Amino acid sequence: MLKIKIIFGLLILLSSFMLLAAIDVYQFDDPEKEKRFQQLTFELRCPKCQNQNIADSKAEISQDLRTKIFQMLNAGKNDNEIVDYMVERYGDFVLYEPRVTPQTYLLWFGPAVFLLLGMLVVTLIIRSRNKAYKEANDHEPSLSDSEAKALDALLKTKQGKK
């Protein structure tokens, strides 16, 4: 009786692993459509997951999106139409690379602007420090002719004592 329970338990355990191994299988009549499907599913972000594309996501919404992309490809839609549909439905968040619009100018051009501003600030700081250094060194008092002769005489007497 114990052996039957163990065997039955193992069968249930093994069958549960089979349920986890379910994979979406899409049959394409054209290899080009399959390539487009792969590319679209890697380009689009899962609306539920923070940073995962719909090709890799196990979320139910990603499965639904993959199915929708498959249906739209078989209906003859082009990539732009499919992406536009997804953006219309889920917003720009679904795109890994948002489109360049006035709302995304800061996202696209902000890093370059901040880099240029940083370089400008560093350049201005270096110039001002160089200018201050030169001004500090230019104001060294110069000796008059009589002071220079007295200094030379003093140095000669010190050298003679050595």
In a domain, 115, yes or no: yes
**In whole angstroms, what is the distance from residue 90 CA to residue 100 CA?**
17
Query: Hey, which residues does 53 pair with through a beta bridge?
Result: 45
Q: What tens digit of pLDDT does each residue of 93-141 get?
A: 888 787 888 888 888 899 999 999 999 999 999 999 988 887 777 666 6
Residues 27 and 95 in one domain: yes
Phi, psi dihedral angles at 12 (to 5 degrees) = -65, -45
Residues 48 and 93 in one domain: yes
In the chain, how many domains are there?
2
Residues 78 and 115 in one domain: no
Q: What tens digit of pLDDT does each residue of 74-102 get?
A: 898 999 999 999 999 988 888 878 788 88
What CATH number is given to the structural domain containing 82? 1.10.8.640
Structure tokens at 15: 């069958």
Tell me what the pLDDT averaged over the chain comes to: 83
Residues 82 and 31 in one domain: yes
Tell me the mean pLDDT in the region 47-51.
82
In a domain, 28, yes or no: yes
Q: Is 95 helix (H, G, I), strand (E, B) or coil?
A: strand
In a domain, 47, yes or no: yes
Residue 16 Cα to chain centre, angstroms: 39
